[in-house]
Chains A and B, each alone.
Chain A
Amino acid sequence: MFAIVVGLLGFTVVRFRYRPGRAVSPRTQAPRAELAYVLGLAVVVGVLLSVSFPAESRVDRLAARPALRIVAVASDWRWRFDYPQQGVAEVAAPPAPTNLVVPVDETIEFDLQSTDVLHAFYIPERDFQRQAIPGITNRFDLVFTRVGTAGSGVCNEFCGLGHTEMRFQVHVLSAPAFAAWARARRQGTAAL
């Protein structure tokens, strides 16, 4: 697209460069050609949207019965992840990132909240972010498909002095490892 326009522009500029005595074209409109072009643009817009909307539906789909619920609480300037079903909470003192521990291949419901200003939950490697808004719980679902550290998350809505350091680290565990981690965590023996 870019190449077409720039190529056309470059060709035009060279082809119609100034020459003494060159007569300029008197033509000042081409309504039919321009209308056809507009219809073409409208088709392009339609195509873009028809790709974009289903993709959005996939990303924003919410499961009726997610396997796990995590309440993600953002506050100045740290993350806390509560696991109500497991009775576990993860929090760390910045600049250390908070651990976000999740089981592999399960649909996880995130309930995103903020206790003070706007923050945003962002995992660049997962191409996903959502704003954390005080007074509102923002729900979204994520599935992590590979065991290991699935990238580092950050706050991506400027929230003041500690914004740069407001991070979390995603750890994806197999189902038994996740259960073992939750059990150990509940008994106060942290094991990752």
Chain B
Amino acid sequence: MSTATPVAPRPFDLLGAVAGTDHKSIARRVAVVSFGFFVLGGILALVMRAQLASPNARLVSTNTYDELFTMHGSTMIYLFVVPMALALGVYLVPLQVGASEVAAPRIALLGFWLFVSGGLTMYTGFLTTNGPGKAGWTAFDPLSDSPHAPGIGMDFWIFGVMLATLGCLLLGATILATIVAHRAPGMTMLRLAPFTWTMLVTCLMVLVAFPVLVVALGLLWVQRYFGGVFSTAGGPVAFQNLFWFYGHPVVYVMFFPFVGAVAEVVSVHSGRRFFGYKPFAISLLAFTALSTSVWAHHMFTTGQVANRYFALTSTALAVPGGIEYFDMIATLWGGSIRMRTAMLFALGFLVQFLVGGLTGIFLASPPLDYDVHATYFVVGHFHYTLLAGSLFGFFAGVYHWYPKFTGVLLSERIGRVHFVVMAIGANLTFFPQLILGYDGMRRRIANYPASNGWQTLNAISTVGSFVIAASVLVFLINVAVSRRAARPAGPDPWGGHTLEWATTSPPPRHNFATLPPIHSYAPLLDAREAVERDG
């Protein structure tokens, strides 16, 4: 199915870009905008790393530094990883369940616009007298209250996060409704693609956790202007409880879609049916159930929570997490593994996320957490999970599905360079941070004295962050080169398993002309095996 005609670029369609309700076009817009925020957030990080490259540096003022880390964290979480994860779902889930459309497409469109306006609102803070929000991405009360964070920039931050989160809530709701109500005939719940399973549990967590953040930030705004919400003795602890009730499930919202992407990449590119499908689904559900009862491990050092309960639930996460690793490795075992770029990123995800996961077990123990809480150990830990983990899973998915999204193939050679540069950069940046944190370096400090001996490790970390930036440039070059080369991908360049590969690339407006019969999660693999069996 490789005709020689190159794919013609589409003319730009303004009305479609504003109001188009095709789920693929909505998803593309969410993805493009959130990738733009990723680049912005990355630039903020580079300025911070430049400041921290040497002790007692004064590249930016402490005030600016506080704005930088607040906006970096807020951008990456509220405006990049969460919406990007959901964009993958909005694009792929209708295809994977054999639907012609996402459920409630106009709600999804509204979600996109709420997300965009949230991002713009948050960044408008840079134009105000007092600057944007600078109370951290967590905006703990009372630091975020009006006496300590005066100025309209903090309000812009609050409303920006509320709008973006509300937008993501709507996107998640449409994905969940698509899975529940729009499956093709024969597509039972136990025949959902692995990626769709991960989106299902992701959206469950979105529905449970996101409203809590929207309400908590609404209350925070009331507190800023009228008081009386968090002013009592237990108020600051109550805000932390509300925030982390959102804040921990969101960690898995930023993780599971990429686990799903890696699961698909691992099975398709080793030519093997996904191993342990049912245990995988059960482990996802177990993870989801636990996700709502681990939040207070962020609060061990408050002395105000039942540490043992939350240590128990948090450590128990090792069980479902371990099942997922088992199934991935068992899928590779006995396969015929093609080392394409997607597979490289998937393996990078598995190895590097493991560093994040194992350091997480440390943090789940209260006495160890007393030592390293809120240090660079934590910064290193969650960057290993988010950047070295989720972002690698994201790129595994990008290299896997880009041909489906655009109809053209990315360059494998540039892709391999992208992978190598990014893997070097990620480990150079974040491994030194684990050591620094263990040595007692706090997070959120604008500079550090020369006497601690932290200079070398910080300098290495800074170099690494610029290497990561270079790798993102390599990716953008790959996109540009592939656009020009326009090598047609055909409907199914990899020998895919799931329904999105049963239609053209990119799929037409209503996705499918005809659907193959669905007897398992892998209808296309079934069809190929039937051909082999029957000759």
B336 within 8 A of A: yes
New contact pairs (17) apart from A28-B273, A135-B235, A156-B373, CB-CB < 8 Å: A24-B270, A24-B271, A25-B334, A29-B276, A29-B279, A38-B279, A49-B312, A49-B315, A52-B367, A116-B148, A120-B301, A128-B370, A136-B233, A136-B304, A158-B66, A160-B66, A164-B447
Q: Do A38 and B323 contact each other (CB < 8 Å), given the known contacts A27-B275, A164-B445?
A: yes
Q: Do A37 and B326 contact each other (CB < 8 Å), given the known contacts A1-B358, A44-B318, A161-B66?
A: yes
Q: Contact: B308 with A56, CB < 8 Å? A: yes
Bound-state Cα–Cα, A139 to B302, Å? 11
Bound-state Cα–Cα, A117 to B375, Å? 19
B217 within 8 A of A: no
Q: Which of A14-22, A80-88, A101-109, A177-185 contacts B (4 or more CB under 8 A)?
A: A14-22
Q: Contact: B365 with A158, CB < 8 Å? A: no
Min C-beta distance of A130 to chain B, whole Å: 6
B232 within 8 A of A: yes
Min C-beta distance of A118 to chain B, whole Å: 6
A selection of 14 A-B contacts at a CB cut-off of 8 Å is A1-B358, A5-B325, A5-B350, A9-B350, A13-B339, A37-B323, A38-B323, A41-B319, A45-B319, A48-B364, A56-B307, A118-B140, A136-B234, A164-B447
Min C-beta distance of B371 to chain A, whole Å: 4
Bound-state Cα–Cα, A136 to B302, Å? 10
Min C-beta distance of A177 to chain B, whole Å: 26
A140 within 8 A of B: yes
Min C-beta distance of A167 to chain B, whole Å: 10
Min C-beta distance of A124 to chain B, whole Å: 3
Min C-beta distance of A76 to chain B, whole Å: 8
Q: Contact: B336 with A19, CB < 8 Å? A: yes
List residues of chain A with CB within 8 A of the CB of B272.
24-25
List residues of chain A with CB within 8 A of the CB of B365.
48, 51-52, 55-56
How does the 8 Å CB contact mask read for B415-443 relative to A, with 1 for contact and 0 for none?
00000000000000000000000011011
Q: Contact: B278 with A135, CB < 8 Å? A: no
Min C-beta distance of B70 to chain A, whole Å: 9
Q: Do A140 and B143 contact each other (CB < 8 Å), given the known contacts A34-B279, A45-B319, A48-B315?
A: no
How does the 8 Å CB contact mask read for A116-149 relative to B, with 1 for contact and 0 for none?
1110101011011111011110111000000000
Closest to B144 in A: A117
Partner of A129, one of B315, B329, B370, B445: B370
A59 within 8 A of B: yes
Partner of A122, one of B299, B334, B442: B442
List residues of chain A with CB within 8 A of the CB of B374.
120, 122, 129, 156-157
Q: Do A135 and B347 contact each other (CB < 8 Å), given the known contacts A16-B270, A48-B361?
A: no
List residues of chain B with CB within 8 A of the CB of A37.
322-323, 326
Bound-state Cα–Cα, A131 to B443, Å? 15
B330 within 8 A of A: yes
Closest to A124 in B: B440
B142 within 8 A of A: yes
List residues of chain A with CB within 8 A of the CB of B325.
5
List residues of chain A with CB within 8 A of the CB of B319.
38, 41-42, 45
Q: Enumerate the 8 nearest inter-chain pairs by beta-carbon distance, A residue then B residue, closest first.
A: A124-B440, A25-B334, A135-B233, A127-B371, A52-B365, A158-B444, A55-B367, A164-B445
Min C-beta distance of B77 to chain A, whole Å: 16
Closest to B70 in A: A158
B128 within 8 A of A: no
A64 within 8 A of B: no
Bound-state Cα–Cα, A17 to B270, Å? 8
Bound-state Cα–Cα, A22 to B361, Å? 39
Bound-state Cα–Cα, A116 to B273, Å? 58
List residues of chain B with CB within 8 A of the CB of A45.
315-316, 318-319
B494 within 8 A of A: no
Partner of B142, one of A29, A55, A117: A117
Q: Contact: B276 with A34, CB < 8 Å? A: yes
Partner of B335, one of A6, A25, A44, A159: A25
Closest to A54 in B: B367
Binding site for A on B (CB under 8 A): 62-63, 66, 135-136, 140, 142-143, 148, 232-237, 270-279, 299, 301-304, 307-308, 311-312, 315-316, 318-319, 322-323, 325-326, 329-330, 332-339, 347, 350-351, 354-355, 358, 361, 364-368, 370-371, 373-375, 439-440, 442-447
Q: Do A41 and B442 contact each other (CB < 8 Å), given the known contacts A8-B329, A116-B142, A128-B370?
A: no
Q: Contact: A24 with B351, CB < 8 Å? A: no
Partner of A2, one of B136, B237, B355: B355
Min C-beta distance of B523 to chain A, whole Å: 15
Min C-beta distance of B375 to chain A, whole Å: 7
Q: Contact: B148 with A18, CB < 8 Å? A: no
Partner of A134, one of B236, B339, B439, B447: B236
List residues of chain A with CB within 8 A of the CB of B445.
163-164
Q: Contact: B440 with A125, CB < 8 Å? A: yes
Q: Contact: A161 with B62, CB < 8 Å? A: yes
A12 within 8 A of B: yes
Considering only residues 30-70 of chain A, those with a C-beta below 8 Å from chain B are 30-31, 34, 37-38, 41-42, 44-45, 48-49, 51-53, 55-56, 58-60
Of the candidates A27, A52, A56, A120, the one having the most CB atoms from chain B within 10 angstroms of its own CB is A52
Min C-beta distance of B486 to chain A, whole Å: 27
Min C-beta distance of B440 to chain A, whole Å: 3
Min C-beta distance of A146 to chain B, whole Å: 17
Bound-state Cα–Cα, A108 to B351, Å? 45
A154 within 8 A of B: yes
Bound-state Cα–Cα, A115 to B80, Å? 36
Q: Contact: A12 with B315, CB < 8 Å? A: no
Min C-beta distance of A77 to chain B, whole Å: 11
List residues of chain A with CB within 8 A of the CB of B277.
28-29
Closest to B336 in A: A22
List residues of chain B with CB within 8 A of the CB of A12.
329, 332-333, 337
Bound-state Cα–Cα, A127 to B371, Å? 4
Q: Contact: B62 with A164, CB < 8 Å? A: yes
Q: Contact: A30 with B361, CB < 8 Å? A: no
Partner of B334, one of A27, A139, A158: A27
